[in-house]
Amino acid sequence: MRKFFGTDGIRGLTNQVPMTAEVAMRVGMAAGAHFLRGDHKHRVVIGKDTRLSGYMLENALVAGFTSVGMDVVQVGPMPTPAIAMLTRSMRADLGVMLSASHNPYHDNGIKLFGPDGYKLSDEDEAQIEHLLTVEPQLADAAFIGRAKRIDDARGRYIHAVKQSLPQSVRLDGLRIALDCANGAAYNSAPTVFWELGADVIAIGVSPNGVNINDKCGSTAPALLQETVVASGADIGIALDGDADRLIVVDEKGAIVDGDQIMGLIGASWARQGRLKGGGVVATVMSNLGLERFLEGEGLRLERTKVGDRYVLERMKEGGFNVGGEQSGHMILSDHATTGDGTLAALQVLAELVASGKPASELLHQFDPVPQMLKNVRFSGGKPLDDKQVQAAIAEGEAALNGRGRLVIRPSGTEPLIRVMAEGDDAAEVERVVDMICDAVRSAA
């Protein structure tokens, strides 16, 4: 069992282990020591979102990295995908993003990227975990690292994102409502869309250290929905705190999730001859309607465990270039090594311009089948091993009888069993979910 690393780096409540300045400094020492390979001068790029605790944790990381002989480049508030891109383009040995993504301000996290711009493998994380438990090998006084801030990093990222579109594609005349969640993309995302010609109505662009994701962004799109309708916008774009996630709102104020976005991009790229792998990669939580839609387009849907890292692993294994999650993580590997909400939004906007259709029509690629998800909290043990629970699951599968899907899984971060069912009959889906939840509660 790993003590520090979870499914997406290290994350927790600020000023409680593992999100303390002391642990951050130790992470800097351990990760720095792990990536000291060869006799060249080593470099790490550090970015952050807009959380107040970012100042404290960033300085602690700088102390850790420089103490083992790594030079540090600090780029300030930047989206997570920007740090992945800069790590690779600046030939850094390591990249670090300080963010807890869509969580409230009082949480924070440490995400690490290797020199190739990809998140670290399980093996790398395990070795860093080990180094956290041993005495660090500090650099001799003459070889302590240096730290500096650079001012052009945001411009590099903005240019790279715009380059994902052909130069002939413009957003002139398009009215976009944009919610940056008071997070890492508060400056870069409005600039990208404006420079491409759009009329941008920006909200969630006044971070104060504690308002990140607060009633705004991709996990709280109500404000964006109101803004789209009130302003007469053609479309709404919502990012999360570190801007690796995207949710869209159409001109009528309706929310469009990641499944519809994957369907749009996958089918469009296939028609253009750009899609690789013969389909799209998504998780077990993606709607059955997406799978049926892609099959109708002659494409397949590859499913993985929940988590964008598992999506990316399958994409790399199978040669796919479009993948993501229903929650809005979009990975377009022709242009990025991790999820990028701004980049994915540009692909949607390019389709909107090319089609001449309203967003409500363009983004309705398929009718989702009825889907229900419920969580059951338990205090200990393994409820899924209980015979009554297993019998309820078997009964549920028989009831859906090939006309739906059942996904039962324990949460990776909380003592919860997640029960999801979907199928053509909404009443049957609800009955199956409630039956299984009752069995889990009884066992727990």
Catalytic site residues? 101
Return the residue matching tokens 């000023």: 15
C-beta neighbour count of 104 within 10 angstroms: 14
Contact indicator for 235, 228 with CB cutoff of 8 Å: yes
Give the residue carrying structure tokens 């890492």.
184
- 6 Cβ contact partners less than 8 Å away, ≥ 6 residues apart: 412, 413
Burial string for 16-25 (b: 16+ CB within 10 Å, else e) reads: eebbbbebbb
β-sheet with 199-203: strand ranges across: 199-203, 175-179, 235-239, 246-250, 255-256
- Which amino acid is present at 322? V
Question: Given the structure tokens 């109101």, which residue do they identify?
Answer: 226
- Residue 309 is encoded by which pair of tokens? 């890292």
Q: Are the beta carbons of 324 and 312 closer than 8 angstroms?
A: no
Residue whose token pair is 């066992």? 443
The two three-digit tokens of residue 69, written as one number: 């002989």
And the tokens for 143?
């070889």
What is the β-pairing status of strands 404-410 and 330-332? unpaired
* DSSP secondary structure letter of residue 279: E
Task: Please say whether the beta carbons of 305 and 348 come within 8 A.
Answer: no
Q: What is the DSSP string of 98-161?
A: E--TTS-TTEEEEEEE-TTSSBPPHHHHHHHHHHTTS---PPPGGG---EEE-SSHHHHHHHHH
Report which DSSP code applies to 329: B
